[in-house]
Structure formats: C-alpha cells, structure tokens
Amino acid sequence: MKKLIALILLLPALLFAEVKNLNISSFEKLKQNGIPVIDIRTPQEWKETGIIDKSHTVMFFRPNGSYDVKDFLNRLHALGIDKEKPFILVCRSASRTRMVGNFLSEKLGYRNVYHLSGGILNWKRHGKPLKPYLQ
C-alpha cells in the first residue's frame, strides 16, 4: 500500500519533468536543429549585452518583478510554441529560466522546456557571439 501511495504522489513529477539544463554544446546543437530560443530578460538587459542570434525576445518578469503569464503564453503561441514543441529559455544567469521553465513544465504541462545553463553570462564566458538588440 505504501508503494502505491508513493507512486501516486510521484506520478505528476514523472509526467511533467522539470526544465532540462543545456550546456553550450547541447544548446548550439538544438538551436541549429531549429529549436526556438526565447530570451526572457528585460529590454534593458537585451540592450546592455545584446542577444543570441535568432533568439526571440519575450520578456517574462518586468523590471519591477511583476509578470503576466497570459501575455507570455500568448506570445509563445504566436511563435508556434505549444505544450508539445521543444523550446529553449535564456536569461542572464539561468535562475529566472529555471523558475519559469519549471512552472511551465510542472504547472502548465509543457513537456519539452530547456534552458541554457548559466544563461547569457555563461554564453559570454565561452566567447560566444551576441548581436545588438534592435527594437
């Protein structure tokens, strides 16, 4: 009986895995295969550092810390992203993408959410190119 209860409690975690970490090499491979990259930072951050080529800028947290999940999801859907299609989240250091990715996976049922481990800071540390953000 204890095993059955444990299985029932673990089932949601098994069905909807957490956001998956990507190192630089894995990130580049998925990106080259056409997996969309969603940069969730703020416009000010995009301007300061630039963005990864061909990434989509879709802010999640506003500079004041607030957010609008419905607007974010609408913008993902406008890019053709749904609960089954894989996509990669990017932020400054990967803390926001881990939080947002886990929320999308665990609470909303998105099955293929990835994020760049270490975020843009990691990308820059590896000498990878960034292009200027143009509104």
Q: Is-contact 83 109, C-beta < 8 A? A: yes
The HSE-up count of residue 112 (CA atoms within 13 Å, CB side) is 11
Domain ranges of the chain: 16-125
Token pair for 107: 């609470």
Q: What is the mean pLDDT of each run of 10 residues along the chain (135 residues)?
A: 42 61 98 98 97 97 94 97 96 97 96 97 98 91
Give which of 91, 89, 94, 97 is closest to 35, Cα–Cα: 89
Q: Say what the pTM is.
A: 0.86
pLDDT score, position 132: 97
> What is 16-125's CATH number?
3.40.250.10
pLDDT for 17: 63
The helix (H) or strand (E) run that includes residue 21 is: strand 20-22
